[in-house]
Amino acid sequence: SEAEVLPDSFPSAPAEPLPEFLLEPEDAFIVKNRPVQLRCRASPATQIYFKCNGEWVNQNDHITRESLDQITGLVLREVEISVSRTQVEELFGLEDYWCQCVAWSSAGTTKSNRAYVRIAYLRKNFEQEPLGREVRLEQEVLLQCRPPEGMPAAEVDWLKNEDVIDPSQDSNFLITIDHDLIIKQARLSDTANYTCVARNVVAKRRSSTATLIVYVSGGWSSWTEWSECNAQCGRGWQRRTRSCTNPAPLNGGAFCEGPPFQRVTCTTLCPVDGGWTEWAKWSACGTECTHWRSRECQAPSPRNGGKHCSGSMMESKNCTEGLCARSLAPDTGVAVYAGLVGALLLCVILVLCVGVLAYRRRCRHLHGDITDSSSALTAAFHPGNYKPSRQDNPNPLHPSAPPDLTATAGTFRGPLFSLQQGVNDSPHKIPMTTSPLLDPLPSLKIKVYNSSTLSSLELPADVCSDGEILSLKSVGTVGRERDCYGHTLSREPGLSTSATLGNLGGRLTIPNTGVSLLVPPGTIPQGKFYEMYLIINKWDKMTLPSEGSQTVLSPVVSCGPSGMLLNRPVVLTLPHCAQLDSPTPDWTLTLKTQTHQGAWEEVLTVGEETLSSPCYLQLEEECCHLLMEQLGTYGLVGQSCPPQPACKRLQLALFAPRAPCLSLDYSLRIYCIHDTPHALKEVLDLERSLGGVLLEDPKPLPFKDSYHNLRLSIHEIPHTHWRSKLLAKYQEIPFYHIWSGSQRPLHCTFSLERSSLAVSQLACKICVRQVEGEGQIFQLHTDIQETLPPHSPLPSGGSCLPSSQVGPYAFRLPDSIRQKICASLDAPSARGCDWRLLARSLGFDRYLNYFATKPSPTGVLLDLWEACHQGDADLVSLATALEEMGKSEVLVVMTTDGDC
């Protein structure tokens, strides 16, 4: 039989693995005096013990359970201990009380994670409780709550009339990580009692109840139509009313300001009944033995709906009292008719004689002196109505006759004033005089317009030069422009400029504001001269063009005189603060103008232009250029374009009192303004009047269209020598105050106090950021006793553009080159190498239909190019565009005629 082969050696039993914890102890809180249980389970495990704060727990304090795993066959051991409040309180030191399991097997030991045991508590008093408020409708509301100190940290719920607020169910509520409640836009339904509730495993605490009242200020309804005049005849009055119901005031909101009714006087023409005049004399006795007489309804004539005269206009009766022969001899009838014909001829001759005499008398006056019409000219210079008498007319015109200033034009012959220059007179000055002995100017022709904003003089081209014509700007009412409401426009220094412009055009610039007006050559008709003005309106003197969620992005600018007849568009340049560097369009930009009644109307929306749009808007990163043919008041507004929120460019400017500081109090002011030169200039002028100095260059800050406020805080104050007088940790500027742009300028003040006058060094940090947005930090280190030189980020007077430039000096492109470029590109080209390609090369091709409607599209494009390059005055960009188009002949002209 075959013998069974046995192995040389038998395998040993497999080694026991290290213990593996199937259950580890967990952190626990001791509530009041109830001890906590800590458990752990491991397999395989021959022994398991707890170790608390580095010391072994007594073996007798362990509760051990042992079993056998049916699957692996390994020993499964579970241990439990109890930790009391006394054990935790006996631990003195900075460490927390912790416990850890240690398990043994034949292979070694394994330790579990540490489990911390803490005593749970919750203080009674809130660190900060919400306060009741009264807010207007749609205002942002912040209710603050700081829960009591506790272990574990308390969770916070907000109750509205004892109902828990769930922001996921109502998006108008927001609970911040600091447990504050934000109501984005207060509604009438948000008028309620609000309570902050803090809770943990120990207890629940309620704050005091804050009552929020949302009030609605009253608004006027539209005016009703004017009532009928209450007087049926003569002077009376008309009335119209409005009610404070749009909306009606609620919850203590303010009542509407102003009268609920208006009354104006009216005059109703009274009806006049007609009346008969006296009867005329009886006529001669006729062939029918009757005579007649007549009367007319003219004493008075019926008017204004009066009754007509009743009765007959003619009356006849027998003129022989019945003794009349019905037939006459034939010779007698012929004699009667012959007499009538002779009388008619005599009347005709007399009428002709009277007409000839009247005509000759009139012609003699027409060829006389200018005494009747010259008053229209001289009245603009002299207080008296002086009229020299004619040598052949001993009876001068009556001196009280007023001059006729309403005539459109009048031709004057005779001695008006002299254009002869004296030895010392300027070549651009025309002396005016009332002397009648100067040489006559028979060809002089002057037009005088009766207008509050327009004065125009027309002289022949061979009488004087352009400079002499421009010196006539003192004639008439030039310089007394008025706006469309009849009030004198504000002419504050630094916010306005004016110049007298004619057919040669020019440029008006308000220095250090980015606002300018380009008037191209040929815009003003030949022979006309206007004193044009450009004014930046102050925010506190007018209503703003924004509505709802719109925001003002540029200064509101008035240019005029309004009502001017322009032959071609002018270019108005406005700075703006819209951030346009995002890849997707975040803005809906709208240009608005102010009507004669003071209301704002939309002119155009960028990107939605049509052939009926009266303007063209060229948008750049920091400014926009407006091509328009109607002068007036304009402003640029914007609104976020969903889904992305739009962003405005703001500037933060830090000011401090001018050194040396002689008081213990010291204040730092931070302004939040639009990132435009005009806004910064306004703040610099304001601080200069307050005695403040700019500490460093303003810092940029993007501000998003959201409900988040702007938060400002000061940090790292050296408390040994300085103390902040503010109780709050930070200050906030509400979001809607900044976004609407209705309040200028906005700032926050940090009030500090030094310990003694010997302290002069101040070092701190000022943080400015939009909540949940971007921010800036001012690192301040200054000596408040050291006098700093004036610091201004604006360009000096020598580097900025002049306030006005008249004639060819205002334009970089010479007129000869301009005409040749227009002649080359205005005509359409089959290859497309015309003005359209020039518009694309220059970046002006957003809406080509606007230029296509102009007589010279190329000329309008060049005007826009002049406005866009007024700062650099560089012809390279234009030359490059023409070179890319292949217009070599025009480049040759620019090289020879200009200084490209």
> Under a CB-based contact definition with an 8 Å cutoff, are residues 439 and 417 in contact?
no
Mean pLDDT, residues 10-27: 78
Please tell me if the domain spanning 20-119 has the same topology as the one spanning 121-215. yes
Residues 6+ apart with CB under 8 A from 360: none
Residue 559 has, within 13 A of its CA and on its CB side, a CA count of 27
Q: Hunting for tokens 């930046």 — which residue is that?
A: 536
What is d(CA 729, CA 352) in angstroms, rounded to the nearest whole number? 103
> Under a CB-based contact definition with an 8 Å cutoff, are residues 792 and 817 in contact?
no
Residues 6+ apart with CB under 8 A from 860: 568, 569, 627, 851, 854
Q: In CATH, what class is 647-783?
A: mainly beta
Strand locations in 798-855 (E): 804-806
What are the backbone dihedrals phi and psi of residue 616, each rounded to the nearest 5 degrees, phi first? -135, 135
What is d(CA 504, CA 524) in angstroms, rounded to the nearest whole number? 8
SS3 labels along 604-624:
EECCCCCCCCCCEEEECCCEE
**CATH number of the structural domain 219-268:** 2.20.100.10
Higher-pLDDT residue of 380, 361: 361
Of 139-153, 243-257, 456-470, 741-755, the least confident: 456-470
Q: What is the DSSP letter of 350?
A: H
pLDDT for the residue 265: 87
Q: Which amino acid is at 75?
A: V
Q: Hunting for tokens 């030039």 — which residue is that?
A: 478
> Under a CB-based contact definition with an 8 Å cutoff, are residues 56 and 73 in contact?
no
Q: What is the DSSP letter of 286?
A: -
Q: Tell me: the pLDDT tens digits for 679-709?
A: 998 899 889 888 899 988 999 999 998 878 9
pLDDT for the residue 291: 84
pLDDT for the residue 801: 57
609 forms bridges with which residues in the sheet?
A: none
Residue 591 scores a pLDDT above 90: yes
Helix 888-897 to helix 815-825 angle, to the nearest 10 degrees?
Answer: 170
Closest CA to 272 of 309, 310, 307, 298: 307
Cβ neighbours around 693 below 10 Å, total: 18
Q: Hunting for tokens 């009354």 — which residue is that?
A: 263
> Under a CB-based contact definition with an 8 Å cutoff, are residues 217 and 254 in contact?
yes
The CATH label, of 2.40.50.140, 3.90.960.10, 3.40.50.10470, 2.60.40.10, for the domain at 121-215 is: 2.60.40.10
Residue 767 scores a pLDDT above 90: yes
Q: Which two tokens stand for residue 714?
A: 């000061």
pLDDT for the residue 220: 92
- Report the percentage of the chain scoring pLDDT > 90: 31
> 210-215 and 133-136 as β-strands: parallel, antiparallel, unpaired?
parallel
User: For the CA atoms of the chain, what is the radius of gyration?
Assistant: 48
Angle at 203 between CA 197 and CA 205, to 5 degrees: 30
Average pLDDT, the chain: 78
C-alpha distance from residue 271 to each of 233, 302, 304, 403, 828 (Å): 8, 8, 5, 36, 67
> Under a CB-based contact definition with an 8 Å cutoff, are residues 709 and 735 in contact?
yes
pTM of the full structure: 0.50
What is d(CA 674, CA 129) in angstroms, rounded to the nearest whole number? 36
Mean pLDDT, residues 386-399: 39
Q: What is the DSSP letter of 745?
A: S
Mean pLDDT, residues 552-565: 90
Closest CA to 45 of 12, 14, 23: 23
pLDDT for the residue 552: 92
C-alpha distance from residue 69 to each of 30, 77, 107, 112, 240 (Å): 34, 10, 18, 20, 97
pLDDT for the residue 553: 92
What is d(CA 452, CA 473) in angstroms, rounded to the nearest whole number? 14
> Under a CB-based contact definition with an 8 Å cutoff, are residues 38 and 81 in contact?
yes
Strand locations in 759-834 (E): 761-770, 775-783, 804-806
**CATH number of the structural domain 811-899:** 1.10.533.10
Residue 414 scores a pLDDT above 70: no
What is d(CA 158, CA 862) in angstroms, rounded to the nearest whole number? 63
What are the backbone dihedrals phi and psi of residue 359, each rounded to the nearest 5 degrees, phi first? -65, -45
Residue 93 has, within 13 A of its CA and on its CB side, a CA count of 7
SS3 of residue 777 by DSSP: strand
Closest CA to 503 of 534, 470, 468, 454: 470
Answer whether CATH 2.60.220.30 is correct for domain 496-644. Answer: yes
pLDDT for the residue 889: 65
What is d(CA 130, CA 209) in angstroms, rounded to the nearest whole number? 7
Closest CA to 138 of 190, 209, 193: 190
Q: Tell me: the pLDDT tens digits for 596-649?
A: 888 899 999 998 888 888 999 999 999 999 999 999 999 999 988 877 888 999
What is d(CA 574, CA 593) in angstroms, rounded to the nearest whole number? 14
Residue 535 has, within 13 A of its CA and on its CB side, a CA count of 23
Cβ neighbours around 13 below 10 Å, total: 5
Residue 284 scores a pLDDT above 60: yes
> Under a CB-based contact definition with an 8 Å cutoff, are residues 572 and 631 in contact?
no
Closest CA to 101 of 35, 57, 48: 48
pLDDT for the residue 765: 92
Cβ neighbours around 807 below 10 Å, total: 17
> Under a CB-based contact definition with an 8 Å cutoff, are residues 249 and 255 in contact?
yes
The answer to whether the peptide bond before residue 660 is cis (omega within 30 degrees of 0) is yes
Q: Which two tokens stand for residue 821?
A: 């470029």
CA dihedral 612, 613, 614, 617 (to 10 degrees): -160
Burial class (CB in 10 A: 0-12, 13-18, 19+), 106: exposed
Angle at 698 between CA 540 and CA 705, to 5 degrees: 65
Closest CA to 532 of 498, 494, 488: 498
Q: Which residues of 44-81 are buried (b: 16+ CB within 10 A; e: fewer)?
A: bbebbbbbbbeeebeeeeeeeeeeeeeeeebbbbbbbb
C-alpha distance from residue 731 to each of 11, 742, 755, 856 (Å): 80, 20, 24, 57
**Helix-, strand-, coil-residue percentages of the chain, each rounded to 5:** 15, 30, 55
Q: What is the DSSP letter of 216?
A: B
Q: Tell me: the pLDDT tens digits for 33-80?
A: 889 999 999 988 888 999 998 889 888 889 998 888 777 778 888 999
Closest CA to 88 of 131, 40, 28: 28
Q: What is the DSSP letter of 610?
A: -
| Alpha helix positions (H), 579-719 | 677-690
| 321 phi-psi bin (left φ>0, alpha ψ -120 to 50, beta other) | left
Residue 398 scores a pLDDT above 80: no
| 580 phi-psi bin (left φ>0, alpha ψ -120 to 50, beta other) | alpha
Domain ranges of the chain: 20-119, 121-215, 219-268, 496-644, 647-783, 811-899
pLDDT for the residue 470: 35
> Under a CB-based contact definition with an 8 Å cutoff, are residues 799 and 790 in contact?
no
What is d(CA 833, CA 836) in angstroms, rounded to the nearest whole number? 7
Q: Tell me: the pLDDT tens digits for 182-191?
A: 999 999 899 9
Q: In CATH, what class is 20-119?
A: mainly beta
What is d(CA 695, CA 685) in angstroms, rounded to the nearest whole number? 15
Burial class (CB in 10 A: 0-12, 13-18, 19+), 307: exposed
Closest CA to 121 of 12, 228, 203, 231: 203
Q: Tell me: the pLDDT tens digits for 449-481?
A: 333 333 333 333 333 333 333 333 333 333 334
